[in-house]
Structure 1
Amino acid sequence: MTNTDSFSQMADDVTGTSPVASFAVVILAAGSGTRLGYGIPKAAVQHSGKTLLEWALAGVDASGVASRIVVTVPTDDTALTNIAADYGALTVSGGSSRAESVALALSALDNAPVRSGFSSDAPSHVLIHDAARSFTPVEVFHRVCQSLSSGQAAVIPVLPVVDTIKTVDADGYVRSTVQRSVLRSVQTPQGFHFKTLLGAYRQAEEQGLSDEITDDASVAEMCGIPVKTVLGDFRSLKITVAEDLALASALKLADELSAVSEKD
């Protein structure tokens, strides 16, 4: 079977999606955080008394969608493992790449404990979420899950691109201006039919395509699976450098002040 044939067959298999959706969540928290500059794994960095992993887990918990949670952490990181356990999550050591970490987490989902209040049935869908997007509002989780429940096989949250985007050559000269109206900035959680995504990652690894994977939706694209977009949220910024953490602090403070104002 050719690459195209195998991917087309995988796309056809999406029609087997269960009409009653259930969701597992994978949180990627094995990043080194070098660019953030704290000298510790990014997920262990503190913000307002909690680690970024704790904030991410708290957001998943508050969304009420996760029947099982798997967290990828740096090898032998006891502190992050204990934090994940407090939320009923299973941990696995991250791989050498994002794609490998996701594949390892997907393979471990069957062993993840079922969280209180959820069915022990195997999840029909999975959300892949970056711990670095620690303050993603619950509404984003809900929009992704609602779209999956309606029959979509792959769903990603996005925001319109507001800056002008240009392509530039190796010498720094502008070659073209990209039509902004068709561009979107992609966030997480990204949601998928579980068996389809697991199979897609296995196919990508077997066929040497793992290096081409820039996010989980790109795996679905390789398989010819339509990827639906839903509205993301500006608060779901990815914390990569120190300035991102400062911006996240400002946005969180604004949210808290707004909540107090509404109560008054």
Structure 2
Amino acid sequence: MSDRVAAIVPAAGRGERLGGSIPKALRPLAGRSLVQHAVETLILAALVDEVVVAAPAAELDAFTKLLGPGVRVIAGGAERIDSVRAAIAVLDETVGVVLVHDAARPLTPPGLVDAVASAVLAGAPAVIPVLAVNDTIKEVDATGRVVRTVPRDVLRAVQTPQGFRRDILDEAYRLGETLPDGVMITDDAGLVEALGVPVTTVPGSQEAFKVTRPADLVFAEALLARRD
């Protein structure tokens, strides 16, 4: 396996829950867009050699100007899975490790990126950063009635970047084209799990939270101010 590492950022989504009339990745945070913060994290990571951003087709020029010449910007798809697949297709053949990172996780520390990449380079086929779940979790039925309390000691909240051997991710996305309707795949590791490939975890970071709602932007602003 080549030790060359590429990072993919699927950033073509609209982000309805966050609101606004512009793509979610372009929402401002402390004077810069979410995607700029996320890409900077990847560039600052010691092990990342290449960054590819899948942007809305109508916003390619805007993304290119924001991210600069060192980042490759391509047209993403209607769904996240389409954007990741399009980005994988343009990676250089020498890439042996692929990281997939959410544009909506702008404050992820570069050290976490390197931790994921290092674990794959050390031999793990798939690696995800995780955090323990602190809240009590209830399983409910369609009417909202509680079915059971899920033991939280076996639960983990999953973050990005998620890292994979290139050949494993390629195979997982080929499988993704044949999955039957109704199969829920919410992240790239889910596709890899469907192959039967083991997924390893590394400790995540509280700062790698996902900006989903307006309150998350306020929290991110406060964290950035504390960093400064």
Structure 1 residue 87, shift from structure 2 partner: 5.0
TM-score by length of structure 1 reads: 0.82
208-217 or 22-31: bigger deviation: 208-217
Q: 1:43 aligns with which of 25, 28, 36?
A: 25
Please tell me the residue identity of whatever aligns with 1:80. F
Structure 1 198/101 Cα, relative in aligned 2: closer, same or farther at 3 Å? same
Which sections of structure 1, spanning at least 5 residues, go unmatched? 1-17, 111-120, 257-264
Aligned residue in 1 for 2:91:
109
Shift of 1:88: 1.4
State the distance in 1 between where 2:131 and 2:219 align: 17
SS at match of 2:160: coil
Distance 1:87 1:253, change over 3 A: farther
**In the alignment, structure 1 residue 188 sits paired with structure 2 residue 171:** no
- CA positional deviation for 1:83: 2.1
The 8 Å contact of residues 57 and 87 in structure 1, kept in 2 or not, is answered as no
> 101, 107, 112: which is aligned to 1:135?
107
Superposition map of 1:1-264 within 5 A: 18=1, 21-77=3-59, 78-84=61-67, 86-110=68-92, 122-208=94-180, 212-256=184-228
Residue identity in the other structure for 1:83: L
- 8 A Cα contact 1:45 1:51, kept in partner: yes
Cα displacement (A) at 1:90: 1.6
Alignment partner of 1:130: what SS? Answer: coil
Query: What is the deviation of 1:29?
Result: 1.0
TM-score scaled to structure 2, two decimals?
0.94
Query: 1:54, 1:83 within 8 Å by CA — same for their partners in 2?
Result: yes
Q: How far did 1:209 drift? A: 6.5
What are the ranges of 5 or more consecutive residues in structure 2 without an aligned counterpart? none
Letter of the 1:21 partner, please give it: D
The SS at the match of 1:135 is coil
CA deviations over 1:210-243 (Å, ceiling 9, x no partner): 9532100001100011000001111111111100
- Structure with more of its chain in helix, by fraction: 1
Aligned mates of 1:54, 1:241 — CA distance in 2: 18
Distance (whole Å) between structure 2 residues aligned to residue 179 and residue 205 of structure 1: 34
Post-superposition offset of 1:82: 2.3
Counterpart code for 1:62: L
CA distance in 2, matches of 1:174, 1:123: 47
CA distance in structure 2 between the aligned counterparts of 1:214 and 1:186, rounded to whole angstroms: 11
Q: Which has the larger radius of gyration?
A: 1
